[in-house]
Amino acid sequence: MTVAKIVYASSTGNTEGISEILEDTFNEMDVEVERLEADEADDETFEDADICVIATYSTGDGERPFDFEDFYEELTDLDLAGKVFGVVGSGDSKLYPDHSFFAALSFDEAFEKTGATRGHEVVKIENDADDADEEILKEFVKALVDAKA
């Protein structure tokens, strides 16, 4: 059975909600899924995963959440060849037009260095996921599963 791991950080609850939608969608597709908060993740988190997902937001002037800093540094050194990855970012481009999705884009670049295969482009969600965003997230999960098949 295909295994997906979702690692997320959430300050306002928006990204946590997004990670729950992802988890539910993987379950609907009969994919075994585990969802972890960023501060629970380490360099072995994706070891037994077929699909690796990061859901994050950006803080201040576009920094990664503090909870993700150690994991981000470890990620760039991992060998994830043979695995599929995807990244989702939540942000507010009206309030922070220059930095809303920096963390998501930086994780996408970090994954590229691991040898994993991008299953979908970075998904950018404005604030809390609405019904249209939920459909986009379902398409995102389907693309990741299809890329692993």
Extents of the domains making up the chain? 3-148
Residue 15 DSSP code: H
As beta bridge partners, residue 53 has 6, 86
Angle at 88 between CA 86 and CA 89, to 5 degrees: 145
Give the pLDDT confidence of 71-107 residue by residue, as tens digits: 999 998 999 999 999 999 998 888 777 778 999 999 9
- 137-to-22, 24, 88, 125 alpha-carbon distances in Å: 7, 11, 9, 9
Give me the chain's average pLDDT, please.
94
Span 95-121, average pLDDT:
91
pLDDT at residue 65 above 90? Answer: no
Confidence at residue 10, expressed as pLDDT on a 0 to 100 scale: 93
Percent of the chain with pLDDT over 90: 81
| Residue environment code for 27-44, b if the CB has 16+ CB neighbours within 10 A, otherwise e | eebebebebeebeebeee
Extract the tokens encoding 10: 């959430």
Query: ∠ CA 140-83-134 to the nearest 5 degrees?
Result: 15
Strands 123-126 and 84-91: parallel
Name the class of domain 3-148: alpha beta
Contact 65, 41 (CB under 8 A): no
pTM of the entire predicted model: 0.95
